[in-house]
Structure 1
Amino acid sequence: MPHLSDADIDSLINVLDMENRLGVLKGLSHADRVSAFQKEAGRQLLVAMIQATSGRLFREKVLEEFQELSPLQRQIYATLCLVSSQRWTMDRQEIILACGSLGNEMLDAVESLARRNVITRRDIHSNYGARHRVIADEIVHAMEFRQYMATVLEGVCFAFASGVNSGLPRSNRQWRRLIRFLNHQFILQVATPDVGRHVYENVEKILHWDYHYWLQRASLEVEQGDLNLATNFLDQARSISPGERLIETEYAYLLIKRASKSPEHGNAEEWFAEGRKYLEELIAQTGSRDSYPYHVLGSQGLAWARQAKIPVLEKRELLKELMEIVKSGVSFHPRSEDLPTLAKDLEKEWLLTAVVQPE
C-alpha cells in the first residue's frame, strides 16, 4: 500500500476521533497522533483504521495496491491473501507450486513484494502471508478478486496436496491446511461447483489414495451436483476407510437425498429407510458429541416427508419421530444454531398434517 500523505493522516485522525476509535491515541496531542501514524502505518494501526471507518478510502487503497501490481505479482499476492484469510501461511516453494511459475522472474516478484512490505515472511523460505488478515479479507471479498479465485484456489490446493503423504499424521500442519482448503463447504462458499470440480480433478493424481479427498469430492456432488458421481466417489472413500464416521454420515445423507429427489422410484422408500438406519445408529454412537447426524436426519427426513407418496397418517408419524430426535439433539447441543430452527420446521410440518376428526 502506498505511504500515507500528511493530508491522509490528518483526515484519518479526524475520522477516528469522530468515531471514538482513537484508542491509545485519545490522550495524545495532534502532533503526537500524527507521529504515531507515521511510525505505525502499515501495521496494526492500519487495521484499526480499516475496521473503524469501513469507508471507501481504505478499501480503495487496498484494491489500488492490488491492481497496480504486475500480473505475476498480483497472482502471488492473490494466492497469499486467500491463504492468509484462513489464518494460514505458505512457504516459498509452495508459492512457486501454487503459481506454476519457475525461474528468476518468480523469485524477483516475491522479493519485490516482500521488500515493499506488501507481504510478510519469517525468513526467505517460510511463513509468507499478506501483512494482515483484515487486508487479505478485503482483497478476497472484493468483486475484483473473483476473476482470480478459480486459478488461485486450484493452485493453493495443488501446492498443499503436494506436501502430504500417507505417513504424515492428520494433526500435522500440512494436513490441516489441506483439509481446510479442500473442504467442500469452503469451496462452495468462495467459488462455483464447477470450480470445485476442477480443484478436485487437479489433485486427483496426488490424492487418489486418500479417503478424505474422495469424501469431500463426493460431498460437493451431494450438495450441488450428480448423485451418481457422488455414489461412486463415496464408494471409493468407503473402500479406503471402511466404517469411517464422516463417510457413513455422508452416505446416509446421499441415500435420503436420492430418495427425496426421486420419490416415485421403486427403491425410494428403501433408500430412505437405509439412510435413516445409518443415521440413527450414528446418533446412538456419537450423538452426544456430534450434532451433524441430527441435522442430516432432520433436514433430509423433512425433505423426504414433503416429497414422498405416503399416507398422511404415516407422514405425520414420521414427522413426529424426526421432531423428537432433533429435539433430543438440541438437548445435547444447546449451542447449535441450526437444530432449534430445524425442530421448529419439523413441528410446523407435523401440525400441517393434522387430520381433522369428524365430531
Structure 2
Amino acid sequence: MEARGGRGEKPLSATDLRDRLAIDFLGKQFVDSDLMSVADMAIEMAGPHVVFERIRSLLSPLLPTPAHLLLPTFRWRALVTTNYDDLIERSYRLGLRNQLQNIVPIVKNTEPVEELLQSTERPVLLLKLHGCVNHAHDEHVPLVLSHEHYALHDRHRDNLYSRMNQWTHESTFVFCGYGIGDAHIRNILHRLDANGVKRPNYYIVTPTMDEVQADYWSKKKVTLIQSTFGNFMAALNAAIPEMWRSLEAGQGLKELSVRKHFRTNRDPTPALMTALERDFRHVHASMAADPQNARRFYEGFDTGWGAILQNLDIRRRVMNDLLLKAVVEEIDSTECRLVLLRGPAGSGKSVTLKRAAMTAADELDQLVVWLESDGALRAEAVLELADLTGKRIFVFVDRAAVHLASIEALLKAVRQKNALVTIVAAERDNEWNIFAGRLAERWKPLEFRIGHLAPREIEDLVEILNKHDSLGLLSTQPRPQQIEAFQKRADRQLLVALHEATRGKAFEEIVHDEYLGIVPDRAKRLYLDICTLNQFAVPVRAGIISRVAGIRFNDYRENLFDPLENVVLTDENRYTGDIEYRARHPKVAEFVFQGACPTDESKSAQLTRMIEHLDVGFLPDRIAIESIAKGRVLSEMLSSAAYGREIYAAIVKALPDAAFVLQQWATIFEYAAHDGSLEEAEKLAHLAKDLDPKSKSVAHTLSEVARRRASAERSPVLKEQFRRQARKRLTDAGSASDMLVMSSKCKILVDEVKDLVESIGDDHDEDAAGRLSELVREAELEIRQAQQLYHDTADLDETQWRLSAILGQHAKARSALERAWRKQPRGASVALRLPRSTLRTTRERLRRC
C-alpha cells in the first residue's frame, strides 16, 4: 500500500516477512520456504507472543500515505481488510478537517457492533479479517499467519466473514491491494455465482493488467482499473467534489421542531443534532408519521405514531395516574426520576406509553423525546438539551430491559449535573423482574401497572372499533352484547381480547389459521423463522434470514412481500443499515411458533437452526439468544430435558464465554426440569463460576443446587453436608438482606422442617417435638423478615405456603406442635405455627393466654 516509515521503512511483502521471520527465529537456510511453513516453525521455536510482537514491531513504524488520508474524506458503507497494520485506523484518528466518518474497527465476533456504532459519531465499520497488530496477543483472534491459523482463520471471527458476505449481495466492492488472481476475490465471486446472486458491479484496482484479463473479468461483472492505490484515491478525490461527499439526507429536520423550547439562540452541537436525527424523536402534535390502517392496528400492526396522531387508541385509566404523578407533579421538582409502566405482553403498554408521551407534549406543553427502537440513549445529548431549554426533559423509553445500562448511566449523569430529567419507561413484567433487579433496587422507580380492561375502557373500545368498522363478527350485534363480549374477556391481554371478541375464535387458533393459509411454502417458512425470534420481542435482521433461508431482502421484496404483507413488518436500522423483519406483535409470533412446532423435537430443531446463524455482535441477535437461554423459558416450552440440552449446546457454541448461559442451564433447566440432573447442574454452575468468579447470581445458583441435592439425599449425613455447603455458598451470593439470599435461607429451613416432620415417629419423642418447634419458629421468623423487606414476592409466598402445607398434611407434626404448646401454654408464636386447618383451635388458645 505504498506506506513508508519515518526513517524510510518500507511495507513488507509476504516474501519480505518470510525472510525476516526465518532470519530472526530459524536461520537463513529457511528463506526459501513458504511463509506459512516458516511461521509454523518460528511459533513452535519462540512462541506466538514473541513472533507476533516481532511482526508488530516491523509494522508499527509505517505511516499513513496520502491515499490513506483521503479515505476519511469519503463516505463508505464499510471497510474490510486482511492486513495486520493499523494504517486505516490511524488515518481516521487524525481528525482531519474534512473527515466525514469515524472508524469502528472490529476484530472478533463478540464485539458489540451496535453499541460501538451508537457510541461513535458518524461511524463506519472496519472489519479486520486476519487480525490486527493492536490485538496481536489476543489468543482468540491471533494474526492469521501459519498453516494452523489459516485452517482456523474464521474461529471467533466467522461472523465478520458473514457480515462481509451479506454486503457482497447488495453493495459495490472496490478491491485495492489484492492481485487479480487473489483467492479472496475468487472465492467471493464463485460463491455468489454458484448461488445465482444478482449483485452490483465490482472493481479491482491493480497496477498491471491486459486486455485478456479485462475481458475475462468484465464477463463476471468486475471492472479492472489500472492504477495504484495512491493514484486511484487521488483520481477519486479529483473527480468527486467535497460538497457532494458531505450531503446527508434529513439532517437538521428534527432540530427545528425542538427549537421552540430553547431559552437561548445558541445552536445545538452536531452531536445533539445527530442524536435528534438518529436516536430520539421529538414528540409533538405536528410531527410526521406514516399513515396507520385502522383495521390492521387493531390486529396488532402498530407501524409507528400514525395510530396516536389518528386517535385510533383508547385512553387507559392508568395513563391519567401516570401523567399526574410523573409529569404534572414533577414539573417543578428538582429531582431526577425513573417511572415505570409495566404489564404482560399484549396488554397495550407501548401504545399507552406513546399516548402518554403525546399528551405530555401536546396538552401539558412539556419537552418530550422518545427513544427510537434502534437509538442510543445518549446522556450527553439529553444533558445538552436540558441546558439549552432550562426545562425538564421527559425521556420515554419502550422495552426498558434492553436499555438498562444506558438508563442507569443517564440517571447517574443527570444526578451529577443536577439536570431536570424524568425517564418514563415501559417493560413486560417477566423481563423487568429478571433483568432489572439492580436498577430497581438503586433507583426505586415509581411504578404503574396496566391492568385489565375497565368497564369504561370497554365502552370506549367498542365505540372506536365501531367507528372504524373493526368489530368483525360483533358488528351486527346490539351494543350491550358487544360490550358483554369484551367483558367476558376483560381478564385477557388487550391484543387477545380484540382478536377473540371480533372473530369468535381462540387467539391461538386465529393465529395458527393465518400461518397455515400462507402460500407458497417458502413464504410460510420465512414467516416461521421471523416468528421464532420475534416472539422474544426483538427484530429479525435480514442478514440472519439470508443466512438461514437464503432469502435476501431484494428477493423478499420482489417475490414474498405480497403473501406476507398482512403479517410481517419491515424497517431499516439507523445505525447498521440492516433491514429488520418482525411479526405484528411478539404474542402473535409466540403462538405461530407454538402452533408450527408442537413437539419438543420440532421446537428444538427450529430454535437450534436459528441460533446457529445468529451473530452475537448485533444486539437483537444477542438478546434473542439470551432470551432463549433463560432456563425458565425452555423448561416451560419443553417437556424433555434432552431436547433442552441440544438447544443449550447450540447457545454455548454461539456464546462460549457467557457465564450467564451456563448458569441458566444449571439453575432452571437441569435444576428444575423433571428429568434434569442435579449433578449436571452442579458441573455447569462450577463452569459458570470459572468464567465469572465474582458473580453473585452464579454463587446463588451453586447454593440452590446444593440445597436441592440435600433434599434428594436419603443419608442424614449427606443431607447435612449439602446444607452446610448451601449456606456457605450463600455468603458469596450477596448481602444477608438480598432477596435471593433471604429466600434461599427460608427454603433451606423449610426443607429441614420437612425432613424432621417425616422422621418423627409415634413414640412421642419430646426432644424431636422441641426441635421441630424451634425449627418452625426460626423458619417463620426468617420468612416474616424477608416479606417485610420484599412485599408480594411470589418466591417467598410459595415458601410460606409450603411450610403451612407440610405442617397441615402431617398429623405427627400437628401432634408434636401440640405437645410443644402444652409445654409453653402462653407461647403465642407456637400457636401461630399451627396450620390453617387448626386455626379455630389456635384462636381459642390465644384468647386464654
Q: Is the CA contact 1:214–1:236 (under 8 Å) kept in the aligned structure 2?
A: yes
Answer yes or no: is the 8 Å Cα contact 2:659–2:692 preserved in 1. yes
Contact kept in structure 2, 1:255 and 1:274, CA below 8 Å = yes
- Name the CA distance, whole Å, in 1 between partners of 2:533 and 2:463: 29
Check whether the contact 2:783–2:800 (CA below 8 A) recurs between aligned residues: yes
Per the alignment, residue 797 of structure 2 pairs with 340
String of CA shifts for 1:5-49, please: whole Å, max 9, x gaps: xxxxxxxxxxxxxx85433244x4xxx737999xxxxxxx99774
Mark the CA change 1:230 to 1:60 in structure 2 (over 3 Å): closer, same or farther: closer
Question: Residue 23 of structure 1 corresponds to which residue in structure 2?
Answer: 463
Secondary structure of 1:243's partner? coil
Corresponding residue of 1:354: 817
Task: Select 1:182's aligned residue among 618, 629, 632.
Answer: 629
Please identify, of 84-93 and 275-284, the stretch whose mean Cα deviation from structure 2 is larger: 275-284
Q: Equivalent residue of 1:121, what SS?
A: strand
Describe how 1:16-95 pairs up with structure 2 within 5 A: 21-26=461-466, 28=467, 33=469, 49-53=498-502, 55-56=504-505, 60-69=509-518, 70-95=520-545
- Which sits farther off after the overlay, 242-251 or 273-282? 273-282
Q: 1:212 to 1:264 in 2, by over 3 A?
A: same
* Alignment partner of 1:269 is 2:720: yes
Q: Which residue of 2 aligns with 1:241?
A: 692
CA contact (8 A) 2:538 2:620 kept: no
| 1:302/1:48 CA distance change after superposition, 3 Å | closer
The 8 Å contact of residues 569 and 582 in structure 2, kept in 1 or not, is answered as yes
Alignment CA distance shift 1:141-1:327 (3 Å): farther
For residues 268-308 of structure 1, give each alpha carbon's deviation from its aligned partner in whole angstroms, at most 9, with x where no partner exists: 20111221243366463451xxx333333333542343236
1:57 & 1:209 partners in 2: Cα distance?
42
Q: Is residue 84–residue 133 contact of structure 1 (8 Å, CA) maintained in 2?
A: yes
Structure 2 gap segments, 5+ residues each: 1-294, 296-457, 474-493, 761-767, 808-812, 824-849
Distance change (3 Å), C-alpha of 1:185 and 1:177: same
The alpha-carbon distance between structure 1 residues 125 and 222, as it changes in their structure 2 partners (threshold 3 A), is: same
Q: Which residue matches 1:11? A: none
Q: 1:283 to 1:134 in 2, by over 3 A?
A: closer
Task: Read off the aligned partner of 1:126 and give its amino acid letter.
Answer: I
Q: How does 1:111-190 map to 2 (within 5 A)?
A: 112-115=559-562, 116-117=564-565, 118-123=567-572, 125-142=578-595, 144-147=596-599, 148-160=602-614, 162-164=615-617, 174-190=621-637
SS in 1 for 2:819: coil
Contact 1:283 1:294 (C-alpha < 8 Å) held by counterparts? no
How far apart, in 2, do the equivalents of 1:226 and 1:57 lie? Answer: 37
Aligned residues: 317
User: Match for 1:295 among 739, 743, 748?
Assistant: 743
**Cα distance in 2, alignment partners of residues 96 and 108 from structure 1:** 10
Residue in structure 2 matching 1:202, options 622, 638, 650:
650
Question: Aligned letter for 1:158?
Answer: E
Taking structure 1 as the reference length, the TM-score comes to: 0.73
Residue 236 (structure 1) shift: 0.9
Question: Partners of 1:293 and 1:239 in 2: how far apart?
Answer: 21
Letter aligned with residue 120 of structure 1 = L
Equivalence for 1:222: 671
In structure 1, which of residues 305, 321, 331 is the aligned counterpart of residue 788 of structure 2? 331
Change (3 A) 1:331 1:175: farther
Q: Which amino acid aligns with 2:750?
A: L
Is the Cα contact below 8 Å between 1:302 and 1:346 reproduced in 2?
yes
Deviation (angstroms), 1:252: 0.3
Moved more, 267-276 or 58-67: 58-67
| TM-score normalized by the length of structure 2 | 0.34
Tell me the CA shift for residue 312 of structure 1: 4.8
Deviates more, 1:274-283 or 1:122-131: 274-283
Supply the distance in 1 between the matched residues of 2:788 and 2:464 (Cα, whole angstroms). Answer: 44
- Among 302, 318, 331, the residue aligned to 2:775: 318
- Displacement, 1:238? 0.9
Secondary structure at 2:735 match in 1 = helix
Runs of at least 5 residues in structure 1 that lack an aligned partner in the other structure: 5-18, 38-44
RMSD between aligned residues: 3.7
Shift in Å, 1:59: 5.2
One-letter code aligned to 2:580: N
Question: Which letter does structure 2 place at the counterpart of 1:189?
Answer: E
Change (3 A) 1:347 1:278: farther
Work out which structure has the larger RCO, using CA pairs closer than 8 Å and 6 or more positions apart in sequence: 1
Distance in 2, Cα, partners of 1:22 & 1:268: 60
Tell me which residue corresponds to 1:258.
Answer: 709
Percent identity between the aligned chains? 16
* Compared CA separation, residues 58 and 102, structure 1 to 2 (3 A): same
Which structure's residues are more often helix, by fraction? 1
Within 2, Cα distance between the matches of 1:186 and 1:300?
A: 25
Cα 1:79–1:284 change in 2 (3 A) is: same
2:531/2:592 contact within 8 Å kept: yes
Indicate conservation of the 8 Å contact 2:471/2:502, yes or no.
Answer: no
Residues 35 and 198 (structure 1 numbering): CA distance in 2 closer, same or farther, change over 3 Å? closer
Q: Distance in 2 between matches of 1:134 and 1:85?
A: 6
Cα offset, 1:175, TM superposition: 3.8
Give the CA deviation at 1:57.
Answer: 7.7
What is the alpha-carbon distance in structure 2 between the residues aligned to residue 279 and residue 316 of structure 1? 25
Report the CA distance between 1:260 and its aligned residue: 0.6
Structure 1 or 2: larger strand share? Answer: 2
CA distance in 2, matches of 1:132, 1:339: 33
Q: Equivalent residue of 1:320, what SS?
A: helix
Q: CA contact under 8 A between 1:63 and 1:139: conserved in structure 2?
A: yes
Moved over 6 A (4+): 34-37, 45-48
